[in-house]
Amino acid sequence: MAQVAFIGLGNMGGPMAANLVKAGHQVQVFDLAEPALVAAEEAGCRRADNPLGAVKGADFVITMLPADKHVQNVYFGEQGIAKSLAKTTLAIDCSTISSDTAVDVGAQLSKLGIRFIDAPVSGGVAGAKAGTLTFICGGSDGDVEHAGHVLNDMGKNVFRAGDIGAGQIAKICNNMLLSVLMAGTAEALQLGQANGLDPKVLSEIMLQSSGRNWTLEVYNPCPGVMDNVPSSNDYQGGFLVDLMSKDLGLAQKTALASGATTPMGSLTHNLYQSWSQMGHGREDFSSIFKLLQPKK
Ligand code: NAD
């Protein structure tokens, strides 16, 4: 079993760290939010007073933070951990950030003799809790294989997309597609409802028809169709609109830089940005259902 430092204990990081404890690892944690630290302690993690305390003696460092600036700050900011890591440590960033930042973090750590992979995840909060996440990694074959010692205790699939940064590219491709599926599913359900259909019945019909997709299978955006999904919990406790908006911004930036044509991604980026600006940034991303309500 390994000694693991885990930094960033939010909706995703909290349950991921708890699963590492269940698997028998020694997990030292840090987060800026006191409630997150209390919950992690209850799950059997050891809390540290700062990031440097968490990484002391760690074989693996895992970061699960909101966006680029938080990752850069944790590694290289005033209390940055980079200079305190042992040469034997493997640093694994599971946040969804830009590929360029992942490459830059990897290069800076490499100068210090520290190995790094990007390993963003898919599977949502439910997958984090159940330990069934998919890890989409960028890094050397050897480093990704080594990361499997801890990633396999939090997920069921570990993919290597390519070198450092490639995991982030694959991740934003997936999330851009997810946003299109979510907006499209919400739109279809609103159309059916506006024409007198029961959304439960319509969902079942589309699930068994050619419109079948992940959102209908496990994440229906219409309240009351499914239990235990954010839409049936006032759109709380899932994947924030602001985070989806961030990922779609990354996808558009990447498309622009590479000359890829992504009109659907551009449209969902606009939808999610507007929804956030209308005050829904802290709701789950399936709340886009409400934006598509028919005009009375
Ligand atoms: P979250 O906002 O719930 O959690 C982020 C945590 O990071 C918070 O607890 C915050 O206090 C902590 N934090 C921020 N800055 C910090 C710092 N400098 N030091 C220590 N802790 C700090 O976010 P989340 O939903 O857990 O998502 C984390 C990452 O995973 C994001 O990049 C997101 O895009 C990605 N992701 C989320 C989901 C999902 O369904 N929520 C799914 C896949 C990927």
* pLDDT of amino acid 193: 97
Does any ligand 1 atom lie closer than 6 A to the CB of residue 96?
Answer: yes
| Cα(33) to centroid(ligand 1), Å | 11
Cβ–ligand 1 distance for 70 under 6 Å, the answer yes
pLDDT of the residue at 60: 98
Residues in the chain where the model's pLDDT stays below 50: none
Residue nearest to atom 44 of ligand 1 (CA): 121
Q: What is the third-level CATH fold of 3-164?
A: Rossmann fold (3.40.50)
Its ipTM equals: 0.99
3-164 with 169-291: one CATH topology?
no
Structural fold of domain 169-291: N-(1-d-carboxylethyl)-l-norvaline Dehydrogenase; domain 2 (1.10.1040)
pLDDT digits (tens, 9 = 90+) for 248-292: 999 999 999 999 999 999 999 999 999 999 999 999 999 999 999
Q: How far is CA 53 from CA 10, 46, 58, 89, in A?
A: 19, 10, 10, 15
pLDDT at 237: 86
pLDDT single digits (tens) 34-43:
999 999 999 9
Q: What is the pTM of this model?
A: 0.94
CA angle 153, 135, 12 (to 5 degrees): 70
Index of the ligand 1 atom closest to the CA of residue 175:
43
Ligand 1 atom nearest 95 alpha carbon: 32
Nearest-CA residue for atom 9 of ligand 1: 10
18 CB near ligand 1 (under 6 Å): no
Q: Verify whether ligand 1 is closer than 6 Å to residue 9 (CB atom).
A: yes
The predicted pLDDT at position 296 comes to 73
Delimit the domains of the chain by residue range: 3-164, 169-291
Q: What is the pLDDT of residue 220?
A: 98
Catalytic residues: 171
